[in-house]
Structure formats: C-alpha cells, structure tokens
Amino acid sequence: MSGTEIVVATRISGNVVCTGHLEILATGKIEGDIDSKSIRIETGGTFRGTCHMKGVPTATTVEEELGEVPQPPTNELSPAA
C-alpha cells in the first residue's frame, strides 16, 4: 500500500510506503515494513515489522542528535590548596 496521508483502522498485511503522515488507530494492525515521514500509533494499535523514517537524520548518539560533541575525560588532578 502507498499514499501520502494514511490512516489504518483495519488490518494490513504487507509493506506500507507513506510520503506524509501514517497513523495506526486503536483498531489498526500492520504486519509488514513501514517507510514513512512520520508515524503515530494509538494505544491498542499494533505494528510488526521494521520502520524507516524519511527525512530524519540518523544519529549514533544522543549527543550527536543534540549537536553536542562529548569531551574526553581528563585524568589531571587539581593542585591542592
């Protein structure tokens, strides 16, 4: 199945490609892979497969996602006063 704005209220067996927003309602079920720009799953809705988000940069750490560069720890001791 493919479309721009998709709302799932029943069962879909197969892959779903959505160029906009995908919403799975409480009565909805998807068994297959999802490729979408955004997704929302109501409580009770189910999804079994993999999901790929379009237009979302991939970050390997939270710091990278926030644009922060972690500093390596230093082993220097402050001089005693």
> Taking residues 4-17, what's their average pLDDT?
96
Give residue-wise pLDDT tens across range 36-70.
999 999 999 999 999 998 775 555 666 666 666 66
Give strand pairing partners of 7: 23
Mean pLDDT of all residues in the chain? Answer: 84
Q: Please report which residue ranges of the chain form alpha helices under DSSP H.
A: 62-66
pLDDT higher than threshold 90 for residue 5: yes
pLDDT higher than threshold 80 for residue 34: yes
The domain limits of the chain are 1-46
3-state helix, strand and coil shares in percent for the chain, rounded to the nearest 5: 5, 40, 50
pLDDT higher than threshold 80 for residue 71: no
More confident residue, 56 or 27: 27
Contact 39, 56 (CB under 8 A): no
